[in-house]
Chain A
Amino acid sequence: MGTFITFPELFILLPLLFGVACFFIKNGNVAKNIALFASLITLVIVVTSLCYTDVKYDLWNNVSYVWLKYIGATYFVGLDGTGRILALLSAIGFPLIIAAAHQNKYEKTNSFYGLLLLSQAGLMGVFCAFDALTFYFFWELALIPVYFLASMWGGANRVRATFKFFAYTFAGSLLMLIGIIYVYLHTSGKMFADGTITQHSFSIKAFYEASITPDAQHWLFWLFFVAFAIKMPIWPFHTWQPDAYDEAPTTVTMVLSGIMVKMGLLAVLRWLIPVLPEASAYYTDVVIILSIIGIIYASCVAMVQDNLKRLVAYSSIAHIGLMCAAIFAMNEMSVQGMLIQMFSHGINIIGLWIVVDIIEQKTGVKSISQLGGVATKAPVLTIFLVIIALANIALPLTNAFIGEFMMFAGLWQYSNWFAAVAGISIILAAVYTLNMIRSIFYGNVAPVVEQIKDINISQKLILSVVVVAIFMIGIFPQPLIELTRVSANYLLMTMGK
Chain B
Amino acid sequence: MNAIIFSAIFGVILMFTGAFVADKTIPKNIAIAGILVLLIMNGMELYTGSPIWNINKMEMLRVDGFNLTFLEVLFAATLLFFLLSGRDVERVGEHVAEYFALIFFVLCGVSLSCTYNTLLLLFLGIEIMSIPLYVLTGSKKSNLKSNEAALKYFLMGAFSTGILLMGIAFLYGGNPNASFYINNLDLGVGKLTPMISVGLVFLVIALGFKVSAAPFHFWTPDVYDGAPTVFTSFMSTIVKAAGFFAFLRLFMYSFGAVQDQWQDLIIFITVMTLLVGNFTAVFQQSVKRMLAYSSIAQAGFMLLAVFALNAAAKEGLLLYAAAYCFATIGLFAILIKMKDYTIDGFRGLAKEQPVLAFSATVFLLSLTGIPLTAGFQAKFMMLVASAQFESKLWLVIVAVLFAAVSAYYYFRVIQAIYFRPRIAEDNSTICYEVSPAFKTLLIITVAIIIIVGVYPEFVVGWMYHL
Binding site for B on A (CB under 8 A): 67-71, 136-137, 140-141, 144, 148, 151-152, 158-159, 163, 166-167, 170-171, 174-175, 177-178, 181-182, 184-185
Query: Which residue from chain B places its CB closest to the CB of A23 in the assembled complex?
Result: B358
- CB atoms of A140 and B371 under 8 A apart: yes
- CB atoms of B365 and A166 under 8 A apart: no
- CB atoms of B419 and A184 under 8 A apart: no
Contact with A along B453-466 (1 / 0, CB 8 A): 00111001000000
- CB atoms of A175 and B400 under 8 A apart: yes
A167 in complex: contacting residue of B408, B415, B456, CB < 8 Å:
B408
- CB atoms of A178 and B397 under 8 A apart: yes
A137 in complex: contacting residue of B372, B408, B419, B456, CB < 8 Å:
B372
Give 5 pairs: A residue, B residue, CB < 8 Å, sorted on A.
A71-B312, A151-B415, A171-B401, A174-B400, A185-B387
- CB atoms of A175 and B397 under 8 A apart: yes
B248 at the interface (CB under 8 A from A): no
Bound-state Cα–Cα, A181 to B304, Å:
15
- CB atoms of A170 and B404 under 8 A apart: yes
Bound-state Cα–Cα, A170 to B408, Å:
11
- Which interface class (under 10, 10 to 19, 20 to 34, 35 or more) fits B? 20 to 34
B393 contact set on A, CB distance < 8 A: 178, 182
The distance from the CB of A431 to the nearest CB of chain B, in whole angstroms, is 38
- CB atoms of B384 and A178 under 8 A apart: no
B460 contact set on A, CB distance < 8 A: 70
B383 in complex: contacting residue of A69, A141, A178, CB < 8 Å:
A178
- CB atoms of A177 and B383 under 8 A apart: yes
The distance from the CB of B460 to the nearest CB of chain A, in whole angstroms, is 7
A174 in complex: contacting residue of B387, B403, B455, B456, CB < 8 Å:
B403
Bound-state Cα–Cα, A178 to B420, Å:
34
The distance from the CB of B180 to the nearest CB of chain A, in whole angstroms, is 34
B272 at the interface (CB under 8 A from A): no
- Given contacts A71-B384, A181-B384, are A170 and B419 in contact (CB under 8 A)? no
Bound-state Cα–Cα, A70 to B457, Å:
8
The distance from the CB of B268 to the nearest CB of chain A, in whole angstroms, is 21
Bound-state Cα–Cα, A340 to B200, Å:
62
- Given contacts A166-B407, A178-B393, A182-B393, are A159 and B419 in contact (CB under 8 A)? yes
The distance from the CB of A66 to the nearest CB of chain B, in whole angstroms, is 10
Bound-state Cα–Cα, A313 to B407, Å:
26
Bound-state Cα–Cα, A185 to B401, Å:
21
- CB atoms of A182 and B420 under 8 A apart: no
A159 contact set on B, CB distance < 8 A: 415, 419-420
| Residues B352-388 near A (CB distance < 8 A) | 365, 370-372, 376, 380-381, 383-384, 387-388
- Given contacts A152-B418, A177-B380, are A137 and B387 in contact (CB under 8 A)? no
Given contacts A70-B315, A178-B400, 17 further A-B contacts (CB under 8 A): A70-B460, A137-B372, A141-B372, A151-B415, A151-B419, A159-B415, A170-B407, A171-B401, A174-B400, A175-B397, A177-B400, A178-B383, A181-B380, A181-B383, A181-B387, A181-B396, A182-B393
B159 at the interface (CB under 8 A from A): no
- CB atoms of A185 and B388 under 8 A apart: yes
Bound-state Cα–Cα, A163 to B383, Å:
25
- CB atoms of B418 and A69 under 8 A apart: no
A136 contact set on B, CB distance < 8 A: 371
The distance from the CB of A315 to the nearest CB of chain B, in whole angstroms, is 29
- CB atoms of A174 and B411 under 8 A apart: no
A171 contact set on B, CB distance < 8 A: 401, 404
The distance from the CB of A430 to the nearest CB of chain B, in whole angstroms, is 39
B384 contact set on A, CB distance < 8 A: 71, 181, 184-185
The distance from the CB of A189 to the nearest CB of chain B, in whole angstroms, is 15
Interface of B is mostly: helix
The distance from the CB of B307 to the nearest CB of chain A, in whole angstroms, is 15
B456 in complex: contacting residue of A68, A151, A166, CB < 8 Å:
A68
| Residues B408-445 near A (CB distance < 8 A) | 408, 411, 415, 418-420
The distance from the CB of B96 to the nearest CB of chain A, in whole angstroms, is 40
The distance from the CB of A409 to the nearest CB of chain B, in whole angstroms, is 40
Bound-state Cα–Cα, A174 to B397, Å:
9
- CB atoms of A174 and B401 under 8 A apart: yes
The distance from the CB of A312 to the nearest CB of chain B, in whole angstroms, is 25
Query: Which residue from chain B places its CB closest to the CB of A139 in the assembled complex?
Result: B371
Bound-state Cα–Cα, A171 to B411, Å:
14
Bound-state Cα–Cα, A184 to B396, Å:
15
Bound-state Cα–Cα, A313 to B269, Å:
45
Bound-state Cα–Cα, A182 to B365, Å:
25
B418 contact set on A, CB distance < 8 A: 148, 151-152
The distance from the CB of A72 to the nearest CB of chain B, in whole angstroms, is 11
A141 in complex: contacting residue of B315, B371, B401, B456, CB < 8 Å:
B371
Bound-state Cα–Cα, A158 to B421, Å:
13
List the 3 closest A-B pairs by CB distance, nearest first. A174-B400, A171-B404, A137-B371
B315 contact set on A, CB distance < 8 A: 70
Bound-state Cα–Cα, A152 to B351, Å:
13
Between A141, A159, A175, the greatest number of chain B beta carbons within 10 A of the residue's beta carbon is seen for A159
Bound-state Cα–Cα, A170 to B403, Å:
9
The distance from the CB of B19 to the nearest CB of chain A, in whole angstroms, is 49
A167 contact set on B, CB distance < 8 A: 404, 407-408
The distance from the CB of B36 to the nearest CB of chain A, in whole angstroms, is 30
A158 contact set on B, CB distance < 8 A: 419
The distance from the CB of B284 to the nearest CB of chain A, in whole angstroms, is 17
A69 contact set on B, CB distance < 8 A: 457
Bound-state Cα–Cα, A141 to B407, Å:
15
Bound-state Cα–Cα, A137 to B312, Å:
19
Bound-state Cα–Cα, A184 to B401, Å:
20
B420 contact set on A, CB distance < 8 A: 159
Query: Which residue from chain B places its CB closest to the CB of A162 in the assembled complex?
Result: B419
The distance from the CB of A292 to the nearest CB of chain B, in whole angstroms, is 29
B407 contact set on A, CB distance < 8 A: 166-167, 170
Bound-state Cα–Cα, A138 to B3, Å:
40
Query: Which residue from chain B places its CB closest to the CB of A67 in the assembled complex?
Result: B455
Bound-state Cα–Cα, A178 to B389, Å:
13
Bound-state Cα–Cα, A182 to B400, Å:
14
B404 contact set on A, CB distance < 8 A: 167, 170-171, 174
The distance from the CB of B25 to the nearest CB of chain A, in whole angstroms, is 35
The distance from the CB of A495 to the nearest CB of chain B, in whole angstroms, is 27
Query: Which residue from chain A places its CB closest to the CB of B403 in the assembled complex?
Result: A174
B403 contact set on A, CB distance < 8 A: 174
- CB atoms of A178 and B387 under 8 A apart: yes
B387 contact set on A, CB distance < 8 A: 178, 181-182, 185
B397 contact set on A, CB distance < 8 A: 175, 178
A166 contact set on B, CB distance < 8 A: 407, 411
Bound-state Cα–Cα, A126 to B400, Å:
22
B396 in complex: contacting residue of A67, A140, A178, CB < 8 Å:
A178
Query: Which residue from chain B places its CB closest to the CB of A168 in the assembled complex?
Result: B404
| Residues B305-343 near A (CB distance < 8 A) | 312, 315
The distance from the CB of B38 to the nearest CB of chain A, in whole angstroms, is 27
The distance from the CB of B145 to the nearest CB of chain A, in whole angstroms, is 33
The distance from the CB of A114 to the nearest CB of chain B, in whole angstroms, is 12
Bound-state Cα–Cα, A166 to B381, Å:
23
A163 contact set on B, CB distance < 8 A: 411, 415
A175 contact set on B, CB distance < 8 A: 397, 400
Bound-state Cα–Cα, A360 to B91, Å:
55
